[in-house]
Structure 1
């Protein structure tokens, strides 16, 4: 475990894109400049690697290991925490990635529910999470709740019930769902050492009111500095300013969703805004035309001149 790895995770966490070459292979040399951009241009010092934004389920285990290693190597001395998602359809694959994460010194691991053979109860899902956490017992462990993608509609609060007894290394939840009541119940149940992280960027302010310690999101790759201003305004009691920023973020994302916004579009938008060549997404995600991304970028620059 990296020094300071058990420090409570707070603030913004960028859910990172996986850079590919034009031929569709992972492009590791891009990660160094990517980290510099996040730190220097967006003020974001935590990353969530190999998640949904990173197309993890379209990557091989070896690719996921190489990406985790490169992020850890390049982040040293520059970022505060590197959290690596190790969830897979197979508990054995998840365990293999968890062991590897422990070996390379990540700051924490996260696991999403399997989504082909789905757990039928919170108890079954907790048991799956326990089996993965058990092979890396010294690593802070996070549950990644994403019902819209997994189709597993077990309330997050039910999954958290008694989880600290099964998983002593449990340190929080990445809650990427629209159910704010369930999120509030998770926040109210959470222990002081846990991090309750919200994953729906356009509803960040609502989650802060309910007790979020931070947020994990794809848009924080390129609107991180504005989201940081939102959090600062909220913490300083300036709800007028916090709402103004949230409304701007909602305007941008509403526009993007209306004209079509998925991982491929989001990835191309990040390339257009940052100047970092992240390459195409991997099939079955479709590539996005530069013109489509440019349209969203123009909206971005009109909202955040």
Structure 2
């Protein structure tokens, strides 16, 4: 789709934490600069992978303000603005706009929220009052609400509603969304090459935290239609991307990023660091990515 505002890779970037679990703002600039140097063209600040649900409103706002100032127009900035109350979504969105963000990502109402399509539409219509392009977030296994093709078509009629990030992990369901002809973004790590081949317009990718150079190259190969090159890159990425999707997602991304030179500390409570046994399995799945990221 010509003019789609979030093409290619958008990194759901980790939030750096200190040993006491506080946001390590003193390391934020170095953290983001590593990814900018790796060629990452877009970031999601206060992302799910960056533990959005476990950041206070003040922490999230501060992270967004500082992160956007560091990025300073050198890459796209998307902000997770999800909240239980739509008034909070609007306030977070307006703050993101004040910081120069290009868009926001917003979950449907969650935690015993409405399942009726009209109520979901009303929620996103109200969220649009924040003034930035909205990326809907389809993760039914966590939220309990699925964005179907029919609901997607209706959502697309809302001003400022631009696209849906599909993190269902169901390729058949994702291609149903793609076949609407509306721009759709993949958010399921193991589906990356298949989603782009099927016509996904962009990626919001948490696993790219531990292999940004390889992931940028993979997204660029898909953009150019170099499918053999993409498959070559994916052979190295696939074992780890599949593994992290099977459980302990955030903890695994933090641990893998540490192994490949993009560490952000440990995730904060209530998540615990990976056990030594799981770290060993993860290191084996990373294989040559550790060396590839160091020399690329």
CA distance in 2: counterparts of 1:105 and 1:241, whole angstroms: 35
CA distance in 2: counterparts of 1:180 and 1:255, whole angstroms: 17
Show structure 2 runs of 5+ residues with no match: 292-296
What is aligned with 1:242?
Answer: 230
What is aligned with 1:48?
Answer: 44
What is aligned with 1:282?
Answer: 268
Mapping of 1:14-93 within 5 angstroms? 14-40=11-37, 42-78=38-74, 80-93=75-88
Q: Secondary structure at the match of 1:84?
A: strand
Question: Of residues 264, 289, 292 in structure 1, which corresponds to 2:251?
Answer: 264
Deviation at 1:15, TM superposition (A): 0.5
Show structure 1 runs of 5+ residues with no match: 1-5
Instruction: Tell me, yes or no, if the aligned pair for 2:190 and 2:245 is still in contact at 8 Å.
Output: no
CA distance in 2: counterparts of 1:226 and 1:131, whole angstroms: 38
CA distance in 1: counterparts of 2:81 and 2:243, whole angstroms: 32
Cα-Cα RMSD: 2.4
Instruction: Tell me, yes or no, if the aligned pair for 1:272 and 1:293 is still in contact at 8 Å.
Output: no
What is aligned with 2:95?
Answer: 100
Q: Secondary structure at the match of 1:13?
A: strand
CA distance in 2: counterparts of 1:295 and 1:183, whole angstroms: 29
What is aligned with 2:260?
Answer: 273
CA distance in 1: counterparts of 2:32 and 2:108, whole angstroms: 28
Instruction: Tell me, yes or no, if the aligned pair for 1:21 and 1:279 is still in contact at 8 Å.
Output: yes
Deviation at 1:285, TM superposition (A): 1.5
Per-residue CA deviations over 1:114-162 (Å, capped at 9, x if unaligned) read: 221222122221211111111x22x11111111122122x234233122
What is aligned with 1:3?
Answer: none
Q: Secondary structure at the match of 1:206?
A: helix
Deviation at 1:244, TM superposition (A): 3.1
Instruction: Tell me, yes or no, if the aligned pair for 1:123 and 1:159 is still in contact at 8 Å.
Output: no
CA distance in 2: counterparts of 1:164 and 1:84, whole angstroms: 20
CA distance in 1: counterparts of 2:143 and 2:26, whole angstroms: 31
Question: Does residue 133 of the first structure (1) align with residue 135 of the second (2)?
Answer: no
CA distance in 2: counterparts of 1:91 and 1:271, whole angstroms: 36
Q: Secondary structure at the match of 1:142?
A: strand
Per-residue CA deviations over 1:184-232 (Å, capped at 9, x if unaligned) read: 23223244xxx42101121111111221112111111222322333334
Instruction: Tell me, yes or no, if the aligned pair for 2:259 and 2:290 is still in contact at 8 Å.
Output: no
What is aligned with 2:178?
Answer: 187
Instruction: Tell me, yes or no, if the aligned pair for 1:13 and 1:48 is still in contact at 8 Å.
Output: yes
CA distance in 1: counterparts of 2:230 and 2:140, whole angstroms: 28
Q: Structure 2 vs 1, CA of residues 289 and 105 (structure 1 numbering), >3 Å: closer, same or farther?
A: same
Deviation at 1:274, TM superposition (A): 1.9
TM-score between the two structures when normalised by the length of structure 2: 0.87
TM-score between the two structures when normalised by the length of structure 1: 0.85
CA distance in 2: counterparts of 1:147 and 1:59, whole angstroms: 22
Once structures 1 and 2 are overlaid, which stretch shifts more, 65-74 or 247-256? 247-256
Q: Structure 2 vs 1, CA of residues 303 and 25 (structure 1 numbering), >3 Å: closer, same or farther?
A: closer
CA distance in 1: counterparts of 2:77 and 2:151, whole angstroms: 24
What is aligned with 2:143?
Answer: 150
